[in-house]
Structure 1
């Protein structure tokens, strides 16, 4: 018996008799049985084998990627005690981890002020911002994530890092959480929501009661949409890439307490 591959990846098995060579070649190109052969020599189908097309898929846009989380990406913790640790992240619609370049710039700005800080990451997603802060010296981080699958993935990362005493993951809606009574004063808050949701203004309206008087605020927005912050905040640093605009603000009350950190008013 000899095997012949069909164009669709399936296999036909045919008799190996030399006099049937031409018939076998024709059978490889057609799914019709070779009627001129005896029944025991006729080509017959064998269970289909995987083809290379099963393993090569065309790239999908972010919106077309499956919501099941089957497609995985990675983020890297850039600095600190967990430096170069890579964390798996489902590639879901709206999930847009801050790039290594942006995070490295941001945490260079924050480095003198991270030691002992209490951090709030309101739209945690991949956890890249909150976990980076703890890696670089923050005392505690609360990561809020609405999606159950992402929240569970964050808990797995926290367990892997041995950070359960410093990092709390809460599956909740950020706006609903902000409407509750504050549980403590936050020194640094990351606000990097899904861009399509337009949540910056409602978040900033509800944020103040959860913050320390000298708190820091990080905002990330689309490059074409400059951040709009309410009165009481001063711009400290800002930057941009082709895709995003990012800015770090200091609460205005800090400038009334003799804080030497230079600020630029917005």
Structure 2
């Protein structure tokens, strides 16, 4: 039996708390659940002021918009698929009625290519939640994220991956980072990596 994805997801905290995001029914689009997002933002803290953030493979934008809602200075949402990108723009337009303090950019770009063009240690918080059917996407994004993330003022690298992948495989891609927070929920595992540089 096919499980229908939710048609809406809600923003949990911040300026846009309880606002709804439309979810398209597209292959590979799997919004991070409310429960997982609530846990993640408890890990990160409720106030993300001062942080810059990348939401790779943004999909519904639930992670990026949540970060923006909680005060992140800059959030860049990247989505390659044309329909999904248009939906992101549409969701953002509906949120604009409640102004936020930071800047949100929505780009129709390949996330891995974009990452390869960024300077070392140029952003503070990176969300990686790619379509699960292509494991190489995840691996390439995680490796690049380890190079460009600087979590010295907060943030880190958040990675969602399928439950059939051992956590150790993901950890091996980020030798200078440790999985400080970890959860398993249904078909998903998630780690918030923090730098061992301190």
Q: TM-score range by the shorter chain?
A: 0.7 to 0.9
- Name the residue aligned to 2:2: 61
- Name the residue aligned to 1:196: 133
User: 1:11-32, CA deviations, whole angstroms, 9 ceiling, x for partnerless residues?
Assistant: xxxxxxxxxxxxxxxxxxxxxx
Question: Which one of the candidate residues 132, 148, 159 is aligned to 2:93?
Answer: 159
Cα distance in 2 for residues equivalent to 1:84 and 1:181: 33
CA contact (8 A) 1:233 1:250 kept: yes
Return the offset for 1:61.
Answer: 3.3
User: 1:128-181, CA deviations, whole angstroms, 9 ceiling, x for partnerless residues?
Assistant: 000001111211100000001111111122222226961100001111112224
Cα distance in 2 for residues equivalent to 1:111 and 1:210: 21
- Name the residue aligned to 2:179: 235
- Name the residue aligned to 1:87: 21
State how 1:205-224 maps to structure 2 within 5 Å: 205-212=143-150, 214=152, 216-224=156-164
Return the offset for 1:213.
Answer: 5.5
CA contact (8 A) 1:237 1:249 kept: yes
- Name the residue aligned to 2:114: 177
Cα distance in 2 for residues equivalent to 1:202 and 1:159: 31
Q: Report whether the alignment pairs 1:246 with 2:190.
A: yes
CA contact (8 A) 1:123 1:191 kept: yes
Secondary structure in 1 matching 2:180? strand
Higher relative contact order (CA 8 A, sep 6+): 2
Scaled by the length of structure 1, what TM-score is found? 0.65
Q: Report whether the alignment pairs 1:126 with 2:64.
A: no
Q: Please, which moves more after superposition, 121-130 or 239-248?
A: 239-248
User: 1:38-72, CA deviations, whole angstroms, 9 ceiling, x for partnerless residues?
Assistant: xxxxxxxxxxxxxxxxxxxxxx837xx9xxxxx98
Structure 1 unmatched runs, 5+: 1-59, 66-70, 256-266
Cα distance in 1 for residues equivalent to 2:2 and 2:138: 25
CA contact (8 A) 1:226 1:245 kept: no
- Evaluate the alpha carbon distance shift between residue 155 and residue 226 of structure 1 in structure 2; reply closer, same or farther with a 3 A threshold: same
Q: Please, which moves more after superposition, 104-113 or 114-123?
A: 104-113
Aligned residue pair count: 188
Cα distance in 2 for residues equivalent to 1:94 and 1:189: 20
RMSD: 2.3
